[in-house]
Structure 1
Amino acid sequence: MNDLYPSGFALVIGGSGGVGTAICQELVANNIPVLLTYNSNRERAERLSNELGGSQASVSCEQVTLQDLTTLNRAISRGIAQYGRLHSVFIATGYDIPQSPISEVTPELWQRVMRSDAEGAFNAIHATLPHLRDGGGGSYVHISSAGLLKYPPLDILSVAPKAAVEELIKGVAKEEGINNIRANSIAIGVIETGIFLRLKEQGVFDDAWIEGVKSALPLNRFGQPEEVAKMAVFLASDNAAYTTGQLIPVDGGFGV
C-alpha cells in the first residue's frame, strides 16, 4: 500500500483512454488498487488490465456508460466488494469531437456532446459521492481543458461542456470539504495521445498547425500522458491534502 492513499481503491472513469491509461499506470506504480472503466472497447480495457497485473496487482475493469447509472452503480459495487473503500475518483473521459466553428455546430451535436461530457460527469459524481462520504472522505480529479484559460478557436465543443463540469467540481469542493472530500481539475493542453493523435492521423492537425502551436508554447513541445498522470495522482494523494477547488494547468504554458 501507498502511505499517501488510504486503503481501498481508485476508480478511473475512462481508464482505457490515452490519459486514463497513464493514470492507471501511475496508480499501479504506487501500489494503489484500480478499477478502470471503458465504454465500448472491452478488448483494449481487458488488455490494459492484464498488462497492469490483473488480479495479482489489484486491477480490474468494468463497462460503464455514464448516461446509464445502473452501469455506474454496478461497477462501484463490484469495486467495493473486491477492494473495500472507494477513496479516489478520476474522471478522464472525452467525447471524440470535431474541430468546428460555432456557426457550424448543430443543436443535435451540441446536445449530444453536452450530455456525454457535462451530464456524464454529473452522473459520475452522483453515483460516487455517497461512497466517498461513507468512507470518511476522498478526492475527485477531473481531466479538463486548457481552453478554459485561453479560448482556442474551433474548440467550443471541448471547452463548453468542460466549463460546466468545472463549476460542478468547484461546487463539490465548496460543499463537501466538511466531509473531507476534495475536488480538483487539471487543465491539459495538447497531449500526444488519444483524440489528438486520431485527429492528427485524419489530417485535422497538419504540420503547419503543429509547428505553429508548439512555437507559441514556452516549453516548445506537446505534453505526454505520463505528465498529466503524475499530476492527477499527486492531486488525489495526501501530498495535496490542502488543495481543493483548483484548476491546475498542465499545458506547457499555453495559458501564459
Structure 2
Amino acid sequence: MPGRLEGRIAIVTGGADGIGRAISELFAREGAHVCIADRNKELGTKAVADISGDGGSVHFVPTDIADAASIKAMVAATCTRFGEPNILINNAGYITFTDDPVEATPETWRDIFQVNLEGMWECSRAVIPFMRNAKKGSIVNLGSVHSFQIVTGHFPYAVTKHGVIGLTRSLAVEYGRDNVRVNALCPGMVETPTALRGWAATGDPEGIRKAVGETHPLGRNASPEEMAYPALFLASDESSFMTGQSLIVDGGRSAFYSD
C-alpha cells in the first residue's frame, strides 16, 4: 500500500534532532523524499544514515535558518536532488528565557526572532512560489502552547511563538486560492534531547521531568514521535480542507487552569 506521502518532496528544518528527526523518519516511512535542513552536520549525517538504512529517501543539507542565503541554497539543493518541494515543516527554533523582560538584551530579542520567526518566513518565502505554481502545497509551522498562554519568565520566546500563529494565519489567507495550505502544530512539553539536557543541568532531572509532566492533565510529557503523527496529518491530504488553523497537541495543558 502506498504511503500517505508517497512521492511528495518535504523539507524539514531542524530535522536532525528531536521533533524534527521524528518527523523526518515518519515522513520517509510514508513515502516522502525528505530534505533534512539543519546546522548540526554530525546529527544530520547520522539521521541520513539511519533513515536511508531503513529504506527512506533522505538528504541532508547543512542550513543556517538565521541566514536567508543559506535557506535559498538549501531549497535549490532540494530541487536538484528531489524536485520542487510541496511540503515544508518549519520546525527549527530555539528557546531562551529572561526572568525580567526589560533585562532582555537587544541581541537576545534579535537573535530569537531571527530564527523562530524570520527564518520561518524566509523558508516559507523560498518554497511558496513552487507550491503556487503546482497549485498544491502544505506548510506546517511549529508553534507551542506558549503561542496561546503566557507563563512568567518565558520572554521573549513566547512572543515569537505568538508571532508564529500570526504568520500562519496570514499566509493561509494570502495563498489559499493557490491551494497552498498553512497550519500550525502547537506542542506542550516534548522530551527532546534538548529538554533532557536542560533538566540534567538542574541536578534533579527526574524530579523536574516529573514536575513538568504533571502540569499536563495526561500527567506526562510527550515523546517526539507523538508530534510527528499530527505533523503527518497536517502535511497529508487527510487535512485537505484545513488551513490557517492551530492544532494544539499539548496533553491538555492549555485547557488546564492553574493559579
Answer whether TM exceeds 0.5 for this pair.
Answer: yes
Note if 1:129 corresponds to 2:128.
Answer: yes
Post-superposition Cα deviations, 1:49-103, rounded to whole Å, max 9, x if no partner, equal 1100169632101011123222222221221222223110001111242453324
Post-superposition Cα deviations, 1:121-141, rounded to whole Å, max 9, x if no partner, equal 111111111111122220000
Q: Distance in 2 between matches of 1:171 and 1:204?
A: 43
Unaligned runs of 5+ in 1: none
Say which SS state the counterpart of residue 187 (structure 1) adopts: strand
Q: Distance in 2 between matches of 1:203 and 1:150?
A: 25
Unaligned runs of 5+ in 2: none
Matched with 1:143 is 142
Matched with 1:105 is 104
Deviation at 1:3, TM superposition (A): 5.8
95-104 or 130-139, larger mean C-alpha shift: 95-104
* Aligned residues of 2:135 and 2:178 also touching (Cα < 8 A): yes
Matched with 1:38 is 38
Matched with 1:231 is 230
Number of residue equivalences: 255
Taking structure 2 as the reference length, the TM-score comes to 0.91
Q: Distance in 2 between matches of 1:201 and 1:245?
A: 37
Note if 1:14 corresponds to 2:31.
Answer: no
* Aligned residues of 1:141 and 1:186 also touching (Cα < 8 A): yes
Highest relative contact order (Cα 8 Å, sep 6+), 1 or 2? 1
Matched with 2:115 is 116
Aligned-residue sequence identity (percent) comes to 27
Distance 1:210 1:136, change over 3 A: same
**Paired letter, 1:21:** R
Taking structure 1 as the reference length, the TM-score comes to 0.92
Distance 1:179 1:163, change over 3 A: same
Q: Distance in 2 between matches of 1:182 and 1:2?
A: 22
Matched with 2:197 is 198
Matched with 1:245 is 244
RMSD: 2.1
Counting only pairs closer than 5 Å after superposition, residues 80-95 of structure 1 correspond to structure 2 as 80-95=79-94
* Aligned residues of 2:95 and 2:157 also touching (Cα < 8 A): no
Deviation at 1:143, TM superposition (A): 1.2
Distance 1:194 1:245, change over 3 A: farther
Distance 1:187 1:205, change over 3 A: farther
**Paired letter, 2:10:** A
Distance 1:246 1:140, change over 3 A: same
* Aligned residues of 1:8 and 1:83 also touching (Cα < 8 A): no
Deviation at 1:206, TM superposition (A): 5.5
**Paired letter, 2:35:** L
Say which SS state the counterpart of residue 254 (structure 2) adopts: coil
Say which SS state the counterpart of residue 216 (structure 1) adopts: coil
Matched with 1:23 is 23
